[in-house]
Homo-oligomer: A and B are copies of this chain.
Amino acid sequence: MARIPGSDGRRTAALIRAAGLALIHRHGYEAMSLRQLAAEVGLQPASLYNHFPTKQALLHGLIHDHMEALLSSTAAALSAAAPDPLSRLRAFIAHHLLYHLEKKPEVFIANFELRALEGENLRAILALRRRYEMLLTDILEAGMAAGVLRPGDAQIAAYAILAMLTGACTWYRPEGRLTRGEIVRIHTDLILHGHAA
């Protein structure tokens, strides 16, 4: 037996990536074996190497593509918002939450499996992440300068907001008690006005 009738590289590659995403999300990168992955797609382990050169390259590809998609979709959401800092902040919050709630596996992997990346792979992802953080930091600084946000350390503020929002992906269940809209409203409120009465 050899090449299978109807086989298509593009489609197989997509299947591998989808299955890899799910397996890494469930078991973790180190715990996922390529034999598992191959079985999930219905391939022999060796055949995976027609589609990526290395297990780590697969992981890096998944994270990289996720970060690129996140960056471009965030840019789109921001440019659709009103230009004042407060509107942009609200748009950022809503977009971050909605996007992340839709892409739980990707988000999980991009946050938890970074340490499995080595050297250049890691550096490239960290650079993308920094670009994303900078989008928020810039909004916060603009808001502080305009007097609509309380002055302070914009970087810490950005970290605090991102941690809080991304944390929501940890406990969110689509069948849960809250709709996505309510989650956005609550978090926007907490970020802007805090918990004090």
Contacts and interface: CB of A to CB of B under 8 A. Distances in A.
A193 B30 CA distance: 42
B195 A140 contact: yes
A152 B27 contact: no
A193 B190 contact: no
A25 B196 CA distance: 36
B193 A196 contact: yes
Interface string A132-174: 0000000010010001111011001101111110111011000
B30 A186 contact: no
Nearest to A147: B197
Contacts of A86: 196
A115 interface: yes
B156 A162 contact: no
Given A152-B186, A162-B167, A164-B163, A194 B193 contact: yes
A141 to B, nearest CB: 12
A197 B192 CA distance: 8
Interface residues of A, number: 43
A150 B31 contact: no
Contact of A112 (B112, B152, B153, B161): B112
A164 B156 CA distance: 11
A82 to B, nearest CB: 16
A28 interface: yes
A46 interface: no
A190 B30 CA distance: 37
A64 interface: no
From A160, A166, A192, name the one whose CB has the most chain B CB atoms within 10 angstroms. A160
A197 B148 contact: yes
Interface of A: 27-28, 30-31, 86, 89, 112, 115-116, 140, 143, 147-150, 152-153, 156-157, 159-164, 166-168, 170-171, 178, 183, 186-187, 189-197
